[in-house]
Amino acid sequence: MWWSTSLSERPVGTPRTGTGEAEQQPGFDQTEALLLELDLSPVAGIWSDAVQTVGIVRSAAGLFVGWLDVGWLTPEDPFSEMRDVAHIVERVPLDQLERDLRFAISEAENVRADHLRECERCCEHFVPGQMYGAACCHSCAVRDGDIAC
C-alpha cells in the first residue's frame, strides 16, 4: 500500500532526546559507561582512577565509594582497602547518578588528602597503609634497612 513504505522506514525505538542509540540496546550498562566516562577502570572488582586514590565497588545494593588505603595480608602481600565508604543508590536517573558519583568521588579525595602522612625522610606524602612508622614510609624503611628484606 502507498503508506506502508514510510511506516517501515520510521526508526523504531529512536530516543526522543537523541542522546545516543547505545542507551536503547538491551543489556547496555549505563553505570559502567558512566564509570568509564569518569576515567575509572576495574581492577580486582574495584573501579579506580589511574593513581588509585578512590575506589568504587558495584553491588546489587548500589555503589560504594571510598578512598583507597593499602592493607597488608602479609608483609609481601598488599591489597587495596577502601576507607570512609559512602553508599550510593544506583537506580536513580542517570544525570542524578552522575552528580552523586562525582560528589562522592570528590568527598573521598578530600578525606584521603586529610589522612595523608608525610615521611620525614623523603618528604613525600602517603596513605597510612604505606607508612612503616609514624614518620617513615615503607620505601624509606626498606632503603635504610629498618625492614629486613
Q: Which residues bind Zn ion (CB under 5 A)?
A: 119, 121-122, 137, 140
Interatomic CA distance for residues 80 and 92, integer angstroms: 28
CB of 109 to Zn ion, least distance (A): 22
Closer to Zn ion at the Cβ: 63 or 137?
137
CB of 144 to Zn ion, least distance (A): 9
CA distances from 15 to 18, 24, 82, 117 (A): 5, 7, 38, 50
CB of 128 to Zn ion, least distance (A): 14
CB of 85 to Zn ion, least distance (A): 28
Closer to Zn ion at the Cβ: 117 or 121?
121
Closer to Zn ion at the Cβ: 43 or 135?
135
Closer to Zn ion at the Cβ: 36 or 142?
142
